[in-house]
Structure 1
Amino acid sequence: MNTSRIALVTGANQGLGRALVEGLAARMHPDDLVLLTGRDDRRVTDAAHEVNRLPGTRARVEGRVLDVTDTEAIARLADELGTRYGGADIVISNAVTRMLPEDSQAERADEFIDVSNTATHAVLRRFGPVLRPGGRLLVVASGLGTLGHLDPRLHKLFDGASLDQVEYAVESWRSAIHNNTSAEAGWPRWLNVPSKVAQVAAVRAVAAARRERDLATGTLIASVCPGMVDTATSRPWFSDFSQAQSPADAARAVLDVVFAENVDPVLYGELIRFGKALDWRDGTPPVEQDRMLKP
Structure 2
Amino acid sequence: MDAMTASRIALVTGANQGLGRALVEGLAARMGPDDLVLLTGRDARRVAEAAEDVASSGARAKVEGRVLDVTDADAVAATAAELAERHGGVDIVISNAVARVLPDRSQAEQADEAIDVANGGTHAVLRSFGPVLRPGGRLIVVASSLGTLGHLDPRLHPLFDGATLDQVEYAVESWRSAVHSRTAEEAGWPRWLNVPSKVAQVAAVRAVAAERRDADLATGTLIASVCPGMVDTATSRPWFSDFSQAQTPAEAARAVLDLVLAEEADPALYGELVRFGKVLPWHDGTPPTEQDELLTP
CA distance in 2, matches of 1:2, 1:280: 36
Q: Is residue 75 of structure 2 the alignment partner of residue 70 of structure 1?
A: no
Letter in 2 for 1:188: P
Offset of residue 253 of structure 1 = 0.2
Counterpart among 122, 141, 144 of residue 143 in structure 2: 141
Instruction: Kindly indicate whether residue 272 of structure 2 is the aligned counterpart of residue 270 of structure 1.
Output: yes
SS of 1:72 mapped into structure 2: helix
State how 1:224-243 maps to structure 2 within 5 Å: 224-243=226-245
Instruction: Give 1:43 deviation, angstroms.
Output: 0.4
Letter in 1 for 2:48: T
Counterpart residue number, 1:181: 183
Counterpart AA for 2:188: G
Residue 256 (structure 2) aligned to one of 234, 254, 257? 254
Cα deviation, 1:61-109, whole Å, max 9, x if unaligned, reads: 0000011111111010000011111000000000001111111110111
Distance 2:145 2:74 in 1: 30
* Matched residue, 1:36: 39
SS of structure 2 residue aligned to 1:171: helix
- Residue 188 of structure 1 aligns to a residue whose secondary structure is coil
Question: Distance in 2 between the 1:188 and 1:100 partners?
Answer: 16
Distance 2:5 2:257 in 1: 23
Cα contact 1:109–1:174 (8 A) shared by 2: yes
Q: What does residue range 156-195 of structure 1 map to in structure 2 within 5 Å? A: 156-195=158-197
Q: Deviations over 1:98-152 (max 9, x none)?
A: 1111111101111100000011001000000000000000000000000000000
Query: How far 1:293 sits from its partner (Å)?
Result: 2.0
| Match runs of 1:86-101 below 5 Å | 86-101=88-103
SS at match of 1:7: strand
1:265 to partner: Cα distance: 1.3
Question: Runs in 1 of length 4+ with deviation above 4 angstroms?
Answer: none
**Residue number among 4, 11, 14 corresponding to 2:14 in the alignment:** 11
Letter in 1 for 2:16: N
The normalised TM-score by structure 1 is 0.98
* Counterpart residue number, 1:82: 84
Higher helix share: 2
**Structure 2 residue ranges without an equivalent (≥5):** none
Distance of 2:96 and 2:5 partners within structure 1:
26
Alpha-carbon offset, residue 292 of structure 1: 1.3
Q: Does 1:204 align with 2:206?
A: yes
Query: Could you tell me how far apart the structure 2 residues matched to 1:102 and 1:148 are?
Result: 27
Is 1:51 the equivalent of 2:54? yes
Q: Do the aligned partners of 1:36 and 1:62 also contact (CA within 8 Å) in 2?
A: yes
How far apart, in 1, do the equivalents of 2:198 and 2:220 lie? Answer: 26
**1:263 to partner: Cα distance:** 1.3
Identity of paired residues, percent? 78
SS at match of 1:128: helix
RMSD: 0.7
Q: Which residue of 1 aligns with 2:296?
A: 293
> Residue type matched to 2:134 in 1?
R
Partner of 2:5, secondary structure, is: coil
- TM-superposed deviation, 1:289: 3.0
Aligned to 1:122: 124
Out of 20, 23, 33, the position equivalent to 1:20 is 23
Which letter maps to 2:33?
Answer: P
Distance, in Å, in 1 between the alignment partners of 2:151 and 2:225 is 16
Post-superposition Cα deviations, 1:30-72, rounded to whole Å, max 9, x if no partner, equal 01100000011110000000001112x1000000001111111
Following the alignment from structure 1 to structure 2, what is the Cα–Cα distance between the partners of residues 34 and 260?
A: 17
Letter in 2 for 1:258: V
1:62 and 1:107 map into 2 onto residues whose CA distance is: 35
Offset, 1:178: 1.1
Structure 1 runs not aligned, ≥5 long: none
- 2:266 is paired with a residue whose SS is coil
For residues 122 and 291 of structure 1, the distance between their equivalents in structure 2, rounded to whole angstroms, comes to 33
Query: What is the rounded CA distance, in whole Å, between the counterparts of 1:174 and 1:83 in structure 2?
Result: 36
Supply the distance in 2 between the matched residues of 1:25 and 1:160 (Cα, whole angstroms).
Answer: 36
How many residues align structurally? Answer: 293
The answer to whether the Cα contact below 8 Å between 1:102 and 1:293 also exists between their aligned partners in 2 is: no
